[in-house]
Amino acid sequence: MIYRSKAPLRLGLAGGGTDVSPYSDEFGGAILNATISLYAYASIEPLEEQKIIIESIDRKEYQEFGFAKQLPIDGIADLVKGVYNRIQKDYNAIKQGFKISTFVDVPAGSGLGTSSTLVVAIIGAFVEMLKLPLGDYDIAHYAFEIERKDLQLAGGKQDQYAATFGGVNFMEFYANDKVIVNPLRIRQEYLNELENNLVLYYTSTSRESATIIKEQQKNVLQKNEKSIEAMHHLKEQSQMMKEALLKGKVHEIGQILDYGFQQKRQMASNISNLLIEDMYDAAKKAGATGGKISGAGGGGFMTFYCPGNTRYKVIETLHTFGGQIRSYQFVQHGLTTWTAS
């Protein structure tokens, strides 16, 4: 038997960064995101030998261990080990050796929630194998706790919930790690137009999101007014985006994205840089009405809203920067698990 899972990556459309503590604890955060047809995958195959094999196919990492209740956190495949260690601690349900293989459709550090989505997929494969009684909120919160508390990786809360629930969601974040996921019923024609007009561009650079997020957290703790005010505006942006999508005011989305781009740059010093600014300006000159840096910023993916038929001119312009356009579709499903015989 092979126990498999896949979880979709997400496009953050508005409110990015307001899901990060301590801002969300003190002021409450709000984010609007949508899952897309790029995925993180995990497969578990039980072994007769009492050993554990971890293979990260996309990262070309491979490790073997004798069967143990806890695996060392040593900088290689720590997300897999973190999930395994926590499940063994809480359930003590894994009694035999296994091989777990993972793959993500885009590079780590690209801003589409890769790490958290992979954690959700890994949990999903173990849930499928062990038949653990975990619902969507349970899995998303479990992923958050493993990543942020057990492994002490800096970041927010939106990615785990997006990957688990799927679809277009307006999410609210409060103190004590409380999260409310509000699925949005958006007319298909509005989603079709948004999908057609949003260009997803990989800058061919990645970044260490934790560094940027730690500066953002420090700015809130030190009561940096400029940074906190920017986060307030981004929370407001998520409401603007929700209304535009629900009411079909798709033509306003470029301006809403541009508003968020101007605000996000105020949150931390490394969110934007000269290359990102040049790309953004060139895309706007080619016809985009707005865009955003995905995830924490600093590199990775960018999205641009291109009304009418301007997407073709924008794509042509972006190609001159040496990155790649990635095709995608919006997907409504979240974490999916199954067993193959």
Q: What is the pLDDT of residues 45-69, one digit of tens each?
A: 999 999 999 999 999 999 999 999 9
CA atoms of 126 and 109, how far apart (whole Å): 25
pLDDT over 60 (residue 306): yes
Residue of 19, 78, 105, 159 marked active site = 159
Position 116 confidence tier, pLDDT thresholds 50, 70, 90: very high
Task: Kindly report the CATH number that applies to the domain delimited by 2-185.
Answer: 3.30.230.10
Residue 317 structure tokens: 């312009």
Report the pLDDT value the prediction gives residue 197, as an integer from 0 to 100.
97
- The secondary structure element, H or E, covering residue 213 is helix 209-221
Report the pLDDT value the prediction gives residue 263, as an integer from 0 to 100.
84
The residue extents of the domains of the chain are 2-185, 188-325
**DSSP assignments along 44-87, one per residue:** EEE-SSSEEEEEETTTTEEEEEE--SS---SSSSHHHHHHHHHH
- The secondary structure element, H or E, covering residue 172 is strand 168-174
For 301-334, b where at least 16 C-beta lie within 10 A, e where not — what string?
Answer: bbbbbbbeebbebbbebbeeeebeebebebbeeb
Position 298 confidence tier, pLDDT thresholds 50, 70, 90: low
Residue of 263, 270, 151 lying closest to 207 (CA atoms): 270
The label of the residue with tokens 């949005």 reads 184
For residue 19, indicate whether it is catalytic: no
Report the pLDDT value the prediction gives residue 270, as an integer from 0 to 100.
62
Report the pLDDT value the prediction gives residue 125, as an integer from 0 to 100.
98
Adjacent-strand bridge partners of 62: 55
Span 232-288, pLDDT tens digits: 999 999 999 999 999 999 999 999 999 998 887 776 656 667 888 899 999 999 999
Residue 249 structure tokens: 């005011």
CA atoms of 335 and 69, how far apart (whole Å): 26
Amino acid at the residue 167: G
pLDDT over 60 (residue 208): no
CATH 3.40.1190.20 applies to domain 188-325: no
The length of the chain is 341
Contact 250, 194 (CB under 8 A): yes
Which region among 133-142, 193-202, 299-308 has the lowest average model confidence (pLDDT)?
A: 299-308
Contact 88, 48 (CB under 8 A): no
Share of the chain above pLDDT 90, in %: 79
Share of the chain above pLDDT 70, in %: 93
pLDDT over 60 (residue 80): yes
Q: How many CB atoms lie within 10 A of CB 230?
A: 24
- Write phi, then psi, for 264 (nearest 5 degrees): -60, -30
| 51-56 vs 98-104, strand pairing mode | parallel
- The secondary structure element, H or E, covering residue 183 is strand 178-183
- Write phi, then psi, for 256 (nearest 5 degrees): -65, -40
Q: Residues 185-209: what's their mean pLDDT? A: 87
Position 78 confidence tier, pLDDT thresholds 50, 70, 90: very high
Contact 155, 29 (CB under 8 A): no
Position 296 confidence tier, pLDDT thresholds 50, 70, 90: low
- The secondary structure element, H or E, covering residue 102 is strand 98-104
